[in-house]
Amino acid sequence: MTEGPSQPQPLGVERTPTGNDRVDAVLARLADAGHLDASGHLEVYEDVHAGLRDALGALDRQPGPSGPTRPYDNRS
């Protein structure tokens, strides 16, 4: 009978950069899960989820164009 590896092994899944430094940094944290037992995965996934949620929320907080976007939106 062949035994499996005695230590957790990384999956070797390649990650394509998104072009957003903040998102890429958060996603890089997923590599930590490959070195942990399954019991440690939840903490990593929760960290990544929170980081992605924060990055997405930051997009909503970025200032947009000032003033009306259509001329008829400027009502007095």
Average pLDDT, integer, range 61-71: 64
Residues 6 or more apart whose Cβ sits within 8 Å of residue 44: 29, 30, 32, 33, 36
Average pLDDT, integer, range 36-51: 92
Q: Is the pLDDT of residue 1 over 60?
A: no
Neighbours of 26 (CB within 10 A): 20
Q: What is the pTM of this model?
A: 0.62
Q: How far is residue 7 CA from its own chain's centroid?
A: 26
Higher pLDDT: 31 or 4? It is 31
At residue 31, the pLDDT reads: 84
Q: How far apart are CA 1 and CA 72, in angstroms?
A: 76
Q: Percent of the chain beyond pLDDT 90?
A: 34
